[in-house]
C-alpha cells in the first residue's frame, strides 16, 4: 500500500456532523506497515500500523493504544480474549 492513499481522521464522533465538541483532526500518512502475512485474498491478517507525518494531539476523544514491548513481543496470545475497536467487520 502507498502511504499517499490514506488520510487519518482522529476524534471524529459523528461522521455526519461538522459541529462536534471533539474538534477532529486529519493527518497524512508517512508509511504503512502491513502485517507480514497479509494477503489480498480473504480477510486474514488484514491489519496495519499507519505511521503519521506529525505527532497526534491527545484529547479526551483521542487516546493512544498500547503496543507490546519487551517480553510481550514474543509472547503467544492464542486463546486470549481480545478487545476489537473500530469500524468494519470484526468477525467472520
- Where does the pLDDT of residue 22 fall: very low under 50, low under 70, confident under 90, or very high at 90 and above? confident
- If residue 46 lies in a helix (H) or strand (E), which one and from where to where? none
Helical ranges in 1-92 per DSSP H = none
Q: Has residue 44 got a pLDDT over 90?
A: no
Q: Calculate mean pLDDT across residues 63-68.
A: 82
Q: Calculate mean pLDDT across residues 28-40.
A: 90
In the CATH hierarchy, which fold is given to the domain comprising 3-67? Thrombin, subunit H (2.40.10)
Amino acid at each position: 500500500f502507498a502511504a499517499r492513499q490514506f488520510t487519518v481522521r482522529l476524534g471524529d464522533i459523528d461522521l455526519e456532523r461538522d459541529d462536534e465538541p471533539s474538534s477532529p483532526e486529519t493527518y497524512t500518512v508517512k508509511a504503512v506497515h502491513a502485517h507480514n502475512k497479509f494477503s489480498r485474498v480473504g480477510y486474514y491478517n488484514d491489519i496495519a500500523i499507519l505511521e503519521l507525518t506529525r505527532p497526534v494531539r491527545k484529547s479526551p476523544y483521542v487516546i493512544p493504544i498500547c503496543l507490546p514491548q519487551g517480553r510481550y513481543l514474543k509472547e503467544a496470545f492464542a486463546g486470549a480474549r481480545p478487545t476489537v475497536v473500530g469500524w468494519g467487520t470484526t468477525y467472520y
